Structure 1
Amino acid sequence: MIAFLKQLYSRYRRFKIGMSPQQNLLFGFFSYVFFGFLLLNLPWTTKTTVSALDHLFTTVSAVSTTGLVTVSIKDSYTLLGQVVIVILFQLGGIGYLSFTTFFILSTTRKMTHWHKRLLRSEFTLPATIRIRDFLKSVILFTVLMEVLGSIAFLWAFTAGGMSLAEALWPAIFHSVSAFCTAGFSLFDTGFAGYVDNGYVNTIISILAIAGSLGFIVVTDLYLSIRKKEHRISFTTKIVCWGFVMLLLLGTGFFYFSEPSIVGLSDRTRFYAAFFQAMTAMTTVGFNTVDFGNFIVPMLLTTFFLMYVGASPSGTAGGLKITTLTAVFAILKSRIRGKKTVTFLKRQIPYERLYVATSSFIFYTAILFLGFYLLSWSEVHGAEALLFEVASALGTVGLSTGITDALSITGKATLICLMFIGRLGVLTFGIAIWSKTTNNKEEVSVMDDLAV
């Protein structure tokens, strides 16, 4: 029996090594979905009857850290089922192989070439950051933020009237969900009851922004404090400036233009405007007002923020700020007739431009295809369907309220979009169509800009 297991493991190892890094990532996230789906189908994980399709939808939504759901998490799943869901979006949030590779570094202090290739494919790093430093920051920062977030939520929920026993699990659940930008909640109305609670708004915002800005930014800032010779990467500068600018613009649009927010008192109005812009940008997916009541221009504003997303190598989804920046730089250079592409007086290498333009075209094409499929299978308005597709592909989790009313075809379409969104559109394309494991196809460490 032992010999058989060794032989089976040897074949499995050869199978994995024979795949490209992108195919390994696809296989890894698919394995998360497969085992998560099996666990959620166990009788001990559910309180009520849930269809297999809804179990699959919940599993993919958790692994992709999206947060779109077709059933109530609180009413449909037992504590064990909820624990499974937390584990799934925790694994999805920090990425495939992060835990295992961190364990390898902690015990043997050695990382194989195979692990390095895989991690470089999953996390596109600037040349100023070593994989070892980056991976340690991923795990340690995740644990630190989620523990602090749980304590903060525990205080907020008990102050709101819950007993310590009642508040403990929701505090842990929502802390992990917020940092991983998963958007899952044990409250059926999300955080709508906390629209005027500045403390809860602040907790979620800090956790979501910390997770979505990305482990690249966190590692970069930490190394700049620890090592005086460390140089802040171009990626970190672009992400921080771009994020702040878009967040302020989004907050301003919601504050002055959305009727359901304008009618609130001054302080609550600011909380609501900032929170909705933040939740779309970070793709955390929580909401304190009903997006189903938004006017079309504000739905399109939210759509744009979800489309862009936040930082590469973080927990957020979307196209990424760095990719949009590179595409904008190309456009500006062509309009001015320049042969080189620059941004903030820095030349962007052609390798990065190829990655950015490919991601932009592929992401937009998949977004349009998903919208086209839903327009055939669903009877809802075009703006609601477009919003749903952007939320699924961007792994956001916001909805105008139509998710549970989708047809089987509609749910299947969103399942595919959520999975592709978490894997990354370019990684998905290479994994499906690549016929070689040539390193030239890998998105590896090339320069100071990650896209």
Structure 2
Amino acid sequence: MEQVHKLHNGYGNKSKSNKWYPLIKRYRKFQLSLSPQQNLLYGFLTYTFIGWLLLCIPLFHKQAVSALDSLFIATSAISTTGLVTVSLFDTYNWFGQFVIMALIQIGGIGYMTFTSFVLLSKKSPLTHWHQRVLGAEFTMPKGFEIKDFLKSVIIFTILIEAIGALFLYIAFTRADIEPNFAVWSSIFHSVSAFCTAGFGLYNDSFEQFADNTFINVILSVLSICGSLGFIVVTDFWNKISGKTKEVTFTTKTIFAVIFLLLTVGTLMIYFFEPSIDHLVENKWMASFFQSMTALTTVGFNTVPLGSFSLAVMLVLIFLMYVGASPSGTGGGMKSTTLTALIAIMWNRIRNNKQVTFFGKVIPLERLYVATSVFILYASVIFISTFLLAMTEDLPLDKILFETTSAIGTVGLSTGITGYLTPWGKLTLIFVMFVGRLGVLTFGIAILARRKGISTTADEGDLAV
């Protein structure tokens, strides 16, 4: 009952004479009975359902759209994926587009973030329940305080999106976009880029701006800022404010891996993708943008991907598989997971007893998480690719690209999304939702035992 009382106080004192009080109390008990991972699952599921209902309202449409397509768009928005089966601009009016942007914002920074920040701004302490759910939603290194982390998330998000919208407005008006539409377009695309959602109001994504350096730079900065993760932002803020003397090992690793992958990806596309040559004037910029959009999982593109060679498509699939950094707006397996896997392999072949990276010992718990995430991601990609291969009459390489894009919440496509059968759309809806929640979080929410597993079983040797 103590936990119920704390949760009750966290929401504010409610009069027991209120006719809704019994229902609210029952709902709060239900929340407390769930694990943090289950709370996240039901939370995102609720927002997806609400968004779907809103997008089904004819008042929000420019033209008729099926309920299944609206569910696909709602799931893609809350998961910040960006895959679409219909044109946003041609299908939804301003109200529908605003609903999509709101879902993107909630999905980008986490559905618990706003409510927790409101509590803190009112000088109300975060309840134990809030802290547990936030702990499951955001992966943080030891020593991080949740209050400082939440403030960094909100302030940084508002600041970057506002600056991004201002610069995009200038860029769009210079590119002869009608001023009134440029206002809305700059706001929408700033939110979409920072949340690495990849939703756009232009049917060709940003192909018409392929040689516009200003727009390319703005979108890249917004996307990288979102994908770096709020751990990095909080880390640098703590260093600047004097709370810490140096940035954490996690931040150093994130920067090293992202720089390396962006460089390798850009070089691979530049030297091995001939189709870009006749499409753009600045091939270096186009190559960097496609590498950036896959790794940050933002999902915008400035050149059509359907004509890419199989070799470069494989490079993009790898970048989408790895994805962004932990506790950010991007998806994917995460750069730190790749780091842990490489560390395991390197230390194993060197016959080291401990797993180290950059001279630091990686905790065993983090290694368990990394290997579990890698296997789960590979499993989801295999199963969803198999299902789509059964239901769709499409080339395997395009199906594999689509499923990797969905589980990594990237949104890049070779152009097959709108041609999927209803079963294919339902498959990707599930994959996108799991990608946003996180494969490990989803697995724990569905299968984990609340009290843990007994360790009294006999030991058995397994040769590997």
Contact 2:306/2:414 (<8 A) preserved? yes
Match of 1:161 among 161, 176, 185: 176
- In structure 2, the partner of 1:323 is 337
Q: Which residue of 2 aligns with 1:444?
A: none
CA distance in 2, matches of 1:65, 1:84: 13
2:321 aligned partner: 307
| Equivalent position to 2:60, from 30, 34, 45 | 45
SS of the counterpart of 1:101? helix
Q: Deviations over 1:104-148 (max 9, x none)?
A: 000024111111111111101001321111110100000001101
Q: Which stretch of the first structure deviates more once superposed, 253-262 or 16-25? A: 253-262
Contact 1:17–1:114 (Cα < 8 Å) also in 2 = yes
1:3 aligned counterpart, secondary structure: coil
Counterpart position of 1:449:
none
Alpha-carbon distance in 1 for matches of 2:279, 2:409: 29
Work out which of the residue numbers 92, 95, 114 in structure 1 matches 2:129: 114
What is residue 101 of structure 1 aligned with on the other side? 116
Match of 1:376 among 390, 404, 419: 390
Q: Which amino acid aligns with 2:226?
A: G
Instruction: After superposition, give the CA deviation of every residue in 1:152-197 in whole Å (9 maximum; x if it has no partner).
Output: 1111111111232121111111010000001000000110001100
The percent of aligned pairs where both chains have the same amino acid is: 53
1:96: how far off? 2.0
The answer to whether 1:388 aligns with 2:386 is no
Structure 1 counterpart of 2:264, from 234, 238, 249: 249
- Cα RMSD for the two superposed structures: 1.5
Aligned partners of 1:181 and 1:211 also within 8 Å: yes
Asked if 1:332 corresponds to 2:346, the answer is yes
- Structure 1 position 343, deviation (Å): 0.7
SS at match of 1:392: helix
Matched residue, 1:215: 230
Equivalent AA in structure 1 for residue 405 of structure 2: S
Partner in structure 1 of residue 290 of structure 2: 276
Query: Which residue number in structure 1 is paired with residue 99 of structure 2?
Result: 84
Q: Give 3-state SS (helix, strand or coil) of 2:410's partner.
A: coil
Report the secondary structure of 1:97's partner residue. helix
Please report how far the alpha carbon of residue 288 of structure 1 lies from its aligned counterpart in structure 2 after TM superposition. Answer: 0.2
Counterpart-to-counterpart distance in 1, 2:375 and 2:193? 30
Instruction: For residue 397 of structure 1, give the secondary structure of its aligned residue in structure 2.
Output: coil
Answer yes or no: is 1:142 the counterpart of 2:181: no
After TM superposition, the structure 1 = structure 2 runs for residues 285-434 of structure 1, keeping only pairs within 5 Å, are: 285-434=299-448
Q: Are 2:193 and 2:223, in contact at CA under 8 Å, matched by a contact in 1?
A: yes
- The one-letter code matched in structure 2 to 1:358 is S
Q: Tell me how far 1:256 sits from its aligned partner.
A: 1.0
**1:232 Cα deviation after fit:** 1.3
For 2:415 and 2:451, locate their aligned partners in 1 and report how far apart those are by CA, in whole Å: 43
Give the match for residue 26 of structure 2. Answer: 11
Q: Which has the larger radius of gyration?
A: 2
The answer as to whether partners of 2:119 and 2:125 remain within 8 angstroms in 1 is yes
1:445 match: none
Report if aligned partners of 1:283, 1:316 keep a CA contact under 8 Å in 2: yes
Distance 1:330 1:248 in 2: 24
Cα distance in structure 2, aligned partners of 1:28 and 1:178: 23
Rounded Cα–Cα distance in structure 2 between residues aligned with 1:278 and 1:246: 9
Between Structure 1 and Structure 2, how many residues are aligned?
439
1:397 and 1:414 map into 2 onto residues whose CA distance is 11
TM norm structure 1: 0.95
Deviation of 1:48 after TM superposition, in Å, equals: 1.0
Q: Matched residues in 2 for 1:62 and 1:218: separation? A: 24
Structure 1 residue 437, shift from structure 2 partner: 6.0
Q: 2:147 aligns with which of 121, 132, 144?
A: 132
- 1:446 alignment counterpart: none
- Aligned equivalents of 2:388 and 2:178: distance in 1? 44
TM-score for both structures, normalised by structure 2: 0.93
What is the alpha-carbon distance in structure 2 between the residues aligned to residue 52 and residue 424 of structure 1?
26
The answer (yes or no) to whether the contact 1:263–1:269 under 8 Å persists in 2 is: no
Q: Mind listing any 5+ residue stretches in structure 1 that lack a counterpart? A: 441-451
Give the counterpart letter for 1:39 in structure 2.
L
Can you list the C-alpha shifts for 1:206-244, whole angstroms capped at 9, x where unaligned? 000000000001111111111163431111111100000
Task: Please give the secondary structure, in 2, of the residue aligned with 1:426.
Answer: helix
Conservation of the 8 A alpha-carbon contact between 1:306 and 1:394: yes
**SS of residue matched to 2:239:** helix
**Unpaired segments of 5 or more residues in structure 2?**
1-15, 455-464
**Amino acid across the alignment from 2:370:** A
Q: What is the distance in 1 between the residues matched to 2:151 and 2:240?
A: 16
Q: Contact 2:279 / 2:303 at 8 angstroms: preserved in 1? A: no
Deviation at 1:435, TM superposition (A): 2.9
- 2: CA distance between counterparts of 1:319 and 1:432? 19
Quote the residue 2:7 is aligned against: none
Q: Distance in 2 between matches of 1:417 and 1:300?
A: 20
CA spacing shift, 1:437–1:153, aligned 2, 3 Å: farther
What is the alpha-carbon distance in structure 1 between the residues aligned to residue 43 and residue 246 of structure 2? 33
Contact 2:83–2:406 (CA<8 Å) still a contact in 1? Answer: yes
Equivalent residue for 1:73, pick from 88, 95, 99:
88
Q: Structure 1 residues 148 and 439 mapped into 2: Cα distance closer, same or farther (>3 Å)?
A: farther
